[in-house]
Amino acid sequence: MTKKIVEKFNELRHKDKIVILGIETSCDETATAVVENGRILHSNVILSQIPLHQKFGGVVPEVASRNHILAINGVIDKALKQAQMQAKDLDAIAVTYGAGLIGALLVGVSTAKAIGYALKIPLIKVNHIEAHVCANFIAHKDLTPPFLCVAASGGHTSLIAVDEHNTYNSLGGTVDDAIGEAFDKVARLLGLPYPGGPEIDKLAKKGAANIDFYKTPKSINKDLRLSYSGLKTAVVNYVNSAKMAGREIVIEDICASFTKQAVDLLVDTTMFAAKERGDKVIALAGGVAANTYLRNRLQEETQKAEMDFFVPSLDLCTDNAAMVASRAYFSILAGTDLAGLDLNAKSNVKVGEGR
């Protein structure tokens, strides 16, 4: 990292207006966005590869990397165009470096390095799960830490204490499958297209949550450890034994019952943690935050407990680059996460890692 870039990075936080280009390629969305001061969205471009992966029933990493390469330059141009800006208007570039699919991440990381180098602007590395939390700052201009965030996606299920803008601590989460992964696997078992979460959400609305697949523990795990692999296996066993016995299965009821059990576990654990810690504000983030039952239940529970509840709009819940640019803004203010040309992609990154 050159001295000049470090100087530029340190001067940035004193500017009134910081414009950041965000890049996100950790999974199957090639996304770019231009965000000002972490909260003002100038553009948000998301090119989803879902149709390409659907025929395989899930994301094929090689196909994802290849298509990110094909798409990345076009979506960067589009983000600048939509923002009515030019490269010279950018103060910094932010990129998701982990967690995610390594080949997919590398496309974003390499592109961001090249742009940072060419424009001589700071490159900020962003943790994907922390970025999900920041979608809330774009959606809710009045939200400020401290708050407890439930980050629920295809790769993560974490309870995160956001004590300050740059202080993230994981309090607990899943010890096996992520909640979104469980949604996707159950959907696949039921013959629903990828990604399964939105499909199960739709069908659950027409079904009755009357199937008890799994005896979930009656008391909350006080270490805030969650598990989804047992529930997933219980659904598999239920479906297989019904098929073998020639019993009719009602997909809508399975979707409603699975959703209820998966979401209740997350919501009950979250409310337990928030009450123990004395949190007054709860935020929801990640792709599974798009789930209707989850949004409604957290809304109801927080209302009962007289807490404030924040959740981003649907397009900011699933993967996007606006959240990446937002996260980077707060790193700039705190003087952390400046990356050099030796930045590498990482498939696994913990919340708060490297700070």
Q: What is the contact surface with ligand KG4 in residues (CB under 6 A)?
A: 27, 153-155, 180, 183-184, 195-198, 201, 286-288, 290-291, 318-319
Beta-carbon neighbour count of residue 137 at 10 Å?
Answer: 27
CB of 122 vs ligand KG4, minimal distance in Å = 25
Query: What is the footprint of Zn ion within residues 108-167 (CB under 5 A)?
Result: 153
- Cβ(52)–Cβ(67) below 8 Å: yes
Query: What is the footprint of Zn ion within residues 282-321 (CB under 5 A)?
Result: 319
Cα–Cα distance measured from residue 77 to residue 82, given in angstroms and rounded to the nearest whole number: 9
Cβ nearer to ligand KG4, comparing 5 with 64: 64
For Zn ion, how many residues bind (rule: CB under 5 A)?
2
Cα–Cα distance measured from residue 160 to residue 23, given in angstroms and rounded to the nearest whole number: 23
Cβ nearer to ligand KG4, comparing 145 with 286: 286
Binding partner at 108 among Zn ion, ligand KG4, none, C-beta below 5 to 8 Å by kind: none
Binding partner at 279 among ligand KG4, Zn ion, none, C-beta below 5 to 8 Å by kind: none
CB of 114 vs ligand KG4, minimal distance in Å = 24
Binding partner at 98 among Zn ion, ligand KG4, none, C-beta below 5 to 8 Å by kind: none
CB of 318 vs Zn ion, minimal distance in Å = 7
Cβ nearer to Zn ion, comparing 46 with 211: 46
For the sheet with 338-339, list strands across it. 40-48, 29-36, 19-24, 92-98, 123-127, 338-339
Burial of 56 (0-12, 13-18, 19+ CB in 10 A): exposed
Residues in a beta bridge with 43: 34
Binding partner at 91 among ligand KG4, Zn ion, none, C-beta below 5 to 8 Å by kind: none
Cβ nearer to Zn ion, comparing 80 with 262: 262
CB of 1 vs Zn ion, minimal distance in Å = 28
Binding partner at 184 among ligand KG4, Zn ion, none, C-beta below 5 to 8 Å by kind: ligand KG4
Cβ nearer to Zn ion, comparing 19 with 46: 46
339's enclosing H/E stretch is strand 338-339
Cβ nearer to ligand KG4, comparing 103 with 155: 155
CB of 181 vs ligand KG4, minimal distance in Å = 6
Largest distance between two CA atoms of the chain? 71
Q: For residue 119, which of 13, 4, 274, 272 has the smallest C-alpha distance?
A: 4
Beta-carbon neighbour count of residue 216 at 10 Å?
Answer: 15
CB of 89 vs ligand KG4, minimal distance in Å = 28
Cβ nearer to ligand KG4, comparing 9 with 156: 156
Cβ nearer to Zn ion, comparing 28 with 319: 319
Report residue 241 as tokens.
């034994």
CA 178 to chain centre: 12
Rg over alpha carbons for the chain, rounded to the nearest Å, is 21
C-alpha distances out from residue 73 to 36, 45, 274, Å: 21, 12, 43
Cα–Cα distance measured from residue 319 to residue 30, given in angstroms and rounded to the nearest whole number: 9
CB of 156 vs ligand KG4, minimal distance in Å = 7
CB of 109 vs Zn ion, minimal distance in Å = 16
**Coil, strand or helix at 176:** coil
Catalog residues that contact Zn ion under the rule CB under 5 A.
153, 319
